[in-house]
Amino acid sequence: MILYASPSVERIFGYSQAEMLGRSIGDFLDRGETVPAIENILKVMDGDVVPHEYRARRKSGEIAWIRVSSTPVKQGDRVVGVRGILSDITDSRRAEEELRASREQLRALAARLQAVREEARTRIARQIHDELGGALTGLKIDLSLLTKAALEIEDASVRTSLLARIDSIIESIDATIHAVRSIAMELRPGVLDDLGLVAALEWQLKDFEKRTGNGCELIPPWEELSLDTDCSTALFRIFQEALTNVARHSGATGVCVRLRAGEGVSVLEIEDNGKGIEKEEILSHASLGFLGMRERAQMFGGSVTVSGISGRGTKVRVEVPSAEKRKMERDQGGAG
C-alpha cells in the first residue's frame, strides 16, 4: 500500500498524491508487471536492494518505463516497509528499443543480402559449369573428330604438324575445363548441396591441405546435425574465412577441425598450431573477417568465439542453435 508519493512521482504517473495514497503499486504498473514487483518488494525486505525496471501506465494511458531503487524501512530490527526512489527512463528505453529494432532490421537486411548472394553464386556456378563447361567439352569432341580426319592426310609433315597443333589445343581446353570447374566450385561447391556440410568441409579441407602443405584433420560428428540449408551454408562460409585467416596470418603447419552436435546446438571448431592471435587483433575494427564470421553466425542466433595462445595457435569456435530450437524461439517470439 502506498503511504507517500513525492511530486516527482506525481509527475511520472500523472496522478496526484491523494489519488495514489492507499493504493497498491500494482495499480500503476502495466499488465504482467504486478507479480514481479511484489516479488521484488519481498526481496528488498529481505535485504536485496538491486534496482529493478518496470513498464508503468500513466493516468493518460501512456506506457512509461520506470527504474525503482528500493531500500527497506526499519523500526528497530523489524522491517516495516519499503522506500523506493523512482526514475523515469522512458526516453532511454525507447531509444534502446529503437536501436535494437534498427539492428534487427540491419541484420535481416544483411541476411537477405547473403541469401541473394548465395543464390547468385549458385546460379552463376551452374551456368559456368553447364554452359561454358559444356561448350568446351563440345570443342574437345570436335577436335577429336578433326584428329581422325588429320590422320588420313598423306603428307607426313603436314599431318604431324597438324596433329601436334590439335594436341596442343586439346591440352589448353583440358586446362580451361579444369579452371572452369575450379571457379564453379569456389563460387558454390556442389558437394555442399548434394552431400551436405560434412562432405563440403572435408572437400575444402583437402583442397586447403593440397594448396598449403599443412597437415589437416577433420573430426566429423557422431550425432546427426540439425541444420537447414541456409545455416549449413553460413557455417561453410565461416569455415572458409577461418581457413583463409590460417593461411594468411597464422604461420601454422597443422589444422584440426571438429564438428559436433551439442544440446540444442551445433558446434564447429577450427584450431591451428600457429603463432596464436593476439587479443588486440581480435578486437581490432580492421578484423573484417572476424566481423563477417560473427555476423553470419548471429543471423541464426549463433556466436563466434576467437581465442589464441602465443606460440600455440588459434581456435575459432562457432555455435549455432539447432533448427528445432530456432523454430521454437521464433514461434515464442511471434506468440509474444
Burial class (CB in 10 A: 0-12, 13-18, 19+), 72: middle
Q: How open is the CA angle 311-316-322, to the nearest 5 degrees? A: 160
pLDDT score for 331: 65
Q: Among all chains, which residue has been given the C-alpha cell 553466425? A: 297
**Residue 22: partners with Cβ closer than 8 Å, 6 or more residues away:** 1, 2
Residues 106 and 84: their CA atoms lie apart, in Å, by 39
- Residue from 307, 309, 302, 216 nearest 262 by CA: 302
- pLDDT tens for the 336 residues of the chain, in order: 788 888 888 898 998 989 899 888 888 888 888 888 888 888 888 888 888 888 898 999 898 899 988 888 888 888 888 888 889 999 998 898 888 888 778 777 777 777 787 788 778 878 887 788 888 888 888 888 888 888 888 888 888 898 898 889 988 988 888 888 888 877 778 888 888 889 999 999 998 998 888 899 999 888 777 788 888 888 999 998 899 888 888 888 889 999 988 778 889 999 999 888 877 766 664 466 778 888 888 888 889 988 888 888 899 999 988 877 777 766 665 554
- Residue from 20, 147, 9 nearest 87 by CA: 9
Task: List the grid coordinates of 134.
Answer: 559444356
In this structure, the answer to whether residues 208 and 115 fall within a common structural domain is no
Domain carrying residue 109: 99-187
Burial class (CB in 10 A: 0-12, 13-18, 19+), 204: buried
Number of domains in the chain: 3
The b/e string for 107-146 (b: 16+ C-beta within 10 A; e otherwise) is eeeebeebeeebeebbeebeebbeebbeebeeeeeebeee
Identify whether 70 is part of a domain.
Answer: yes
pLDDT score for 80: 82
Residues 225 and 257: their CA atoms lie apart, in Å, by 16
3-state SS class at 243: helix
CATH number at residue 211: 3.30.565.10
Q: How many whole angstroms from its chain centre is CA 25?
A: 42
In this structure, the answer to whether residues 179 and 224 fall within a common structural domain is no
Q: Among all chains, which residue has been given the C-alpha cell 539492428? A: 103
In this structure, the answer to whether residues 24 and 122 fall within a common structural domain is no
3-state SS class at 1: coil
Residue ending a domain, among 187, 215, 236, is: 187
Identify whether 94 is part of a domain.
Answer: no
pLDDT score for 84: 86
Residues 165 and 229: their CA atoms lie apart, in Å, by 47
Identify whether 2 is part of a domain.
Answer: no
pLDDT score for 330: 66
Amino acid at 283: L
Residue ending a domain, among 88, 110, 137, is: 88
In this structure, the answer to whether residues 205 and 268 fall within a common structural domain is yes
Dihedral angle at the C-alpha atoms of 202, 208, 209, 210, nearest 10 degrees?
110
In this structure, the answer to whether residues 272 and 325 fall within a common structural domain is yes
